[in-house]
Amino acid sequence: MSVFHPDLRSARFIPPIPARMPVVRLMRRTPKPKPAPHDVRIEELDVPGAEGAPAVRLRIYRPTALDAADAAPAPAMLWIHGGGFLLGSPAQDEASSIAFARALGMVVVAVRYRLAPEYPSPAAVEDAYAALTWLFENAARLGVDDERIAVGGASAGGGLAASLVLYAHDRGEIRPAFQLLVYPMLDDRTVTRRDHDTRNVRLWSPAQNRIGWTSYLGREPGSPDVSPYAAAARRQDLTGLPAAWIGVGTLDLFHDEDVEYARRLREAGVPCEFHVVDGAFHGFDALYRGARVSREFHAEQARALRAALSR
């Protein structure tokens, strides 16, 4: 019997992706977005970055129904794309951003942050914080309720979302209402593990994890004194953070670190819903977007957001 979920059985034939920077640079080509649907307006703009840093580009998805004069303030989410800190853009998550906007009547603000190794930590989280600050400051203009703003992301974006929540908590200027962490990349120390059975890991391998963390940290993963603004799992005190949803598959390289982070959030008194997909690997929902297991995974995220951000 296959260890893979029945909907993902053919994933056993997926070949490994070489973990080399020339391959990463080839994969940085941004997919061309499709035309905006009739019921969601898509806008791109640049907003001020951190002091001394360049402007940050945002891609905003806003349901046209919010343009009505009598429309009530809507919830919103700052979305952070994945890519191992090395590649990616908001365009790769266009379908899910549109789906969130439609299903929840929410504004989704996707941030294009600076990538490693050219821009190591804390560049990415500073860009994300600049985007989140702009979203809070412009909530009224966007028709957004600033008490219902979530932060979300997938993979490295999920790790950045978790670190961003810590960063915002410590600065005390703005407070997200919720964190949606989709198979988040939280702990550089996973690179140092030698007891990990990774035979059925797909799409994101231990070798790729090493190059991603090394590039992002600018030093060897597992080193002392790594900032929690780079690797959220390094944070000792998780009290006072907004409620969370974490979802991951049992065949994901990040499964164990995500289990541990969810446990620690709960122990710190932070409500955290943990959703596990048996036989699912990293990024399964992007590669098998039409599969039933992927649709159910996205429906769980929408349900969690609706429950957290409803009035």
Residue 38 bears catalytic tag: no
3-state SS of 216-251?
Answer: HHCCCCCCCCCCCCCCHHHCCCCCCCCCEEEEEECC
What is the rounded CA–CA span in Å between residue 175 and residue 182? 20
Out of 89, 155, 163, 294, the active site residue is 155
Out of 252, 285, 294, 298, the active site residue is 252
First-to-last CA distance in the chain?
46
Residue 282 bears catalytic tag: yes
Q: Burial-class residue 207 by CB neighbours within 10 Å (0-12, 13-18, 19+).
A: middle
Out of 282, 285, 294, 298, the active site residue is 282
Residues recorded for the chain: 311
Edge-first strand listing for the sheet containing 178-182: 40-47, 56-63, 107-112, 74-80, 144-154, 178-182, 244-249, 272-277
Residue 256 bears catalytic tag: no
Contacts 24+ apart (CB under 8 A), 15-18: 16/205, 17/203, 17/205, 17/208
Provide the annotated active-site residues. 155, 252, 282
